[in-house]
Amino acid sequence: MKEAKFYEKLANEKIQCHLCAHECVINPGKRGICMVRENQAGVLYSLVYGKIISQSVDPIEKKPLFHFLPGTLSFSIATVGCNFQCLHCQNYDISQYPRFHEKKIIGDDLTPTEIVARARSSHSASIAYTYTEPTIFSEFAYDTAVLAREKGIRNVYVSNGF
Ligand code: SF4
């Protein structure tokens, strides 16, 4: 858990999250639509910082990118949660996990340094933030992406663009 970025404090300990176009206004003790950003006494927290629900070494073409580092591997990660609730989601079991499991947040505890080390040891040329919507774990993705670039690893953000 880490204090979130991109939010504004309102009156009576309410906050407004500006991370995505939902622009959720969140009362104390409540979460945004993505179910992973929570107002605790007037401070917004990312509940999924470092909580990795999925990690896999994929071909870059699965992202799907064709002309970007073709033929290389991409170390791919996700947390639970999403700002959409698409009926056709192929990863609904993780994207909607908190919604259908009493708001629980699950995942392995990993730091940005550990993610970058795993990417290097798997000979991945990039790290992909994917499977669920990476915007909702943006603080963790950003910290990881900065470290990755320092080590010569590229970053791939597979987003719904909202
Ligand atoms: S990131 Fe989550 S809490 Fe923030 S505006 Fe989007 S859905 Fe709401």
pLDDT, residue 33, reads 98
pLDDT in tens, 97-110: 999 999 999 999 99
pLDDT computed for residue 145 by the predictor = 98
Tokens 């915007």 belong to 135
Residue with tokens 């963790």: 140
Which pLDDT value is given to residue 114?
Answer: 98
Q: Which domains does the chain have, with CATH numbers?
A: 2-46 (no CATH), 51-157 (3.20.20.70)
Distance 61 CA to ligand 1 centre (A): 29
Query: What is the C-alpha to C-alpha distance for residues 142 and 51, in angstroms, rounded to an integer?
Result: 14
CA of 24 to the centre of ligand 1 (A): 6
Average pLDDT for 117-122: 98
- Tell me what pLDDT residue 7 has: 98
Q: Which residues pair with 39 in a beta bridge?
A: 44
pLDDT at 150: 98
Is the CA virtual torsion 116, 144, 35, 2 positive or negative?
positive
Q: Which atom of ligand 1 is nearest to the CA of 37?
A: 3
Ligand 1 centroid distance, CA of 102 (Å):
18
Q: pLDDT (tens digit, 9 = 90+) per residue, 15-40?
A: 999 999 999 999 999 999 999 999 99
**Ligand 1, residues at Cβ distance < 6 Å:** 17, 19-20, 22-24, 32-34, 37, 83, 136
Quick check: pTM over 0.85? Answer: yes
